């Protein structure tokens, strides 16, 4: 019935992927949104919160909720950005740096498992096509 429905198929896929990534990041006590945001902070410490939201393709309130969770866990710190008194720069804590390698390995393991299931070429093609559709709809 919904074989050609982009919404139905992408939402069903998102639910499956959410379960997979939830299991991968559960040992760290992080949700997938928190883990991906923390990985972005670790990759580029000091980015303004608004830039992190833009790069993660999420709204600022959604990013703030994830950052609040990471702040409560002692994994990030907020500091005045220096550019704008209303903007915060986000920095990882020592506790976050201690998780860095393990978070990346957990993420890589999921990616490798998906590549093995789909085949590396189909995986790369699918990710590319989804990104292209997302960009076209922005």
Residue 99 lies in a domain: yes
Residue 48 lies in a domain: yes
Residue 71 is part of which domain span?
6-137
In this structure, are residues 42 and 96 in contact, taking their beta carbons and an 8 Å threshold?
yes
Closest residue by Cα to residue 37 from 20, 23, 54, 24: 54
Residue 32 lies in a domain: yes
Residue 121 lies in a domain: yes
Residue 1 lies in a domain: no
Total domains in the fold of the chain: 1
Residue 13 lies in a domain: yes
What are the pLDDT tens digits along the chain (138 aa)?
Answer: 788 899 999 999 999 999 999 999 999 999 999 999 999 999 999 999 999 999 999 999 999 999 999 999 999 999 887 766 678 899 999 999 999 999 999 999 999 999 999 999 999 999 999 999 999 998
Phi, psi of 30 (to 5 degrees): -120, 145
To the question of pTM greater than 0.85 for the whole model, the response is yes
CATH number at residue 85: 1.10.10.10
Distance CA(41)–CA(60), nearest Å, equals 15
Q: Is 28 exposed, middle or buried (0-12, 13-18, 19+ CB in 10 A)?
A: middle
In this structure, are residues 103 and 39 in contact, taking their beta carbons and an 8 Å threshold?
yes
């Amino acid at each position: 019935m919904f074989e050609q429905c982009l919404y139905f198929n992408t939402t069903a896929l998102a639910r499956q992927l959410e379960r997979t990534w939830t299991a991968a990041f559960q040992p760290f006590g992080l949700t997938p949104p928190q883990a991906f945001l923390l990985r972005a902070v670790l990759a580029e410490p000091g980015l303004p919160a608004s830039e992190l939201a833009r790069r993660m393709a999420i709204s600022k309130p959604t990013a703030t909720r994830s950052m609040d969770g990471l702040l409560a866990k002692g994994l990030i710190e907020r500091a005045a950005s220096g550019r704008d008194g209303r903007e915060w720069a986000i920095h990882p804590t020592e506790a976050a740096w201690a998780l860095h390698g393990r978070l990346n390995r957990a993420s890589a393991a999921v990616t490798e498992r998906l590549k093995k299931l789909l085949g590396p070429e189909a995986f790369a093609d699918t990710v590319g096509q989804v990104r292209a559709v997302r960009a076209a709809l922005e």
